[in-house]
């Protein structure tokens, strides 16, 4: 049986970009979102082998610490020509200073080393795994992806992370050139393009009261 979220929900992320996106997505459903940062919760080590288990590790740790239902996501970019790298290590590739200009340059360097210059050799997808954990150990989990190709040089200053390098399939502008509504807004306002927006639609179907 799926369980609905009501009342307060802890958002177990310390990434301000993701927190802002999630607050925007949850607001229409009347959920009061409090961040793990506001509650002074620590960040558990992400020891899972895939996005799904890392999301669960973060949600379970926050739900246990806050004694409230907690939401976590794990996400990243999977580059086909790099055998799926950086994948679950997408944040780590940017280093302690969170330098995504350097992380994107690293991807480009490796793609060139492999001779991946044409769009068909530069395919990639973002993945978003979402998990809601309750203090009694109940879990709800969903996953979605956004497919595209990687461009060089990066384009646009909107968004975060690898957005300026990612051209979603069927579009002429990168995520870095799109407004937040275009990238992750849900219909009728946006197109629900991003991996997180798509995963969120799935989660809303099973865990949220209709808008
Ligand atoms: P984590 O989910 O906090 O482990 O980190 C995921 C990392 O993947 C982020 O720090 C970004 O580098 C990257 N990432 C995830 N989603 C997006 C996105 O929508 N745009 C750009 N980069 C993203």
Reported pTM: 0.92
What is the rounded CA–CA span in Å between residue 135 and residue 89?
A: 28
182 versus 16: the higher-pLDDT residue is 182
Residues 61, 135 contacting (CB under 8 angstroms): no
Most confident of 37-41, 151-155, 200-204: 151-155
What is the rounded CA–CA span in Å between residue 202 and residue 194?
A: 13
Three-class secondary structure of residue 143 per DSSP: strand
What's residue 117's pLDDT?
95
pLDDT band at residue 211 under the 50/70/90 scheme: low
Q: Which residues line ligand 1 (CB under 6 A)?
A: 15, 74-77, 90-91, 94, 126, 159-163, 175, 194
**198 token code pair:** 């798509």
CA atoms within 13 A on the CB side of 104: 17
CA of 15 relative to ligand 1 center, distance in Å:
9
**pLDDT tens per residue, range 100-153:** 999 999 999 999 999 999 999 999 999 999 999 999 999 999 999 999 999 999
Residue 102 backbone phi and psi in degrees, to 5:
-70, -40
Return the CATH architecture of domain 8-207. Answer: Alpha-Beta Complex (3.90)
For the stretch 184-200, what's the b/e string if a residue is b when 16 or more beta carbons lie within 10 angstroms of its beta carbon? Answer: bbbeeebbbbbbbbbbb
Nearest alpha carbon, ligand 1 atom 9? 91
CA of 179 relative to ligand 1 center, distance in Å:
17
CA atoms within 13 A on the CB side of 179: 7
**Would residue 83 show up in a list of annotated catalytic residues for this protein?**
no
């Amino acid at each position: 049986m799926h369980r609905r979220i009501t009342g307060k929900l802890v958002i177990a992320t310390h990434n301000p970009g993701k927190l802002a996106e999630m607050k925007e997505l949850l607001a229409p459903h009347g959920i009061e979102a409090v961040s793990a940062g506001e509650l002074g919760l620590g960040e558990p080590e992400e020891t899972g082998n895939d996005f799904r288990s890392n999301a669960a590790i973060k949600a379970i740790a926050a739900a246990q610490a806050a004694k409230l239902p907690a939401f976590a996501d794990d996400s990243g970019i999977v580059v086909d020509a790099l055998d799926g790298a950086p994948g679950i290590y997408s944040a780590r590739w940017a280093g302690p200073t969170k330098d995504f200009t350097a992380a994107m340059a690293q991807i480009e360097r490796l793609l060139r080393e492999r001779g991946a210059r044409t769009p068909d050799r530069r395919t990639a997808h973002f993945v978003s795994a979402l998990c809601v954990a309750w203090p009694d150990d109940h879990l709800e989990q969903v996953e979605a992806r956004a497919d595209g190709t990687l461009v060089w040089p990066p384009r646009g200053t909107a968004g975060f992370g690898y957005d300026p390098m990612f051209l979603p399939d069927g579009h002429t502008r990168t995520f870095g050139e799109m407004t937040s509504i275009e990238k992750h807004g849900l219909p009728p306002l946006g197109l629900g393009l991003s991996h997180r927006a798509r995963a969120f639609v799935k989660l809303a179907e099973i865990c949220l009261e209709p808008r």
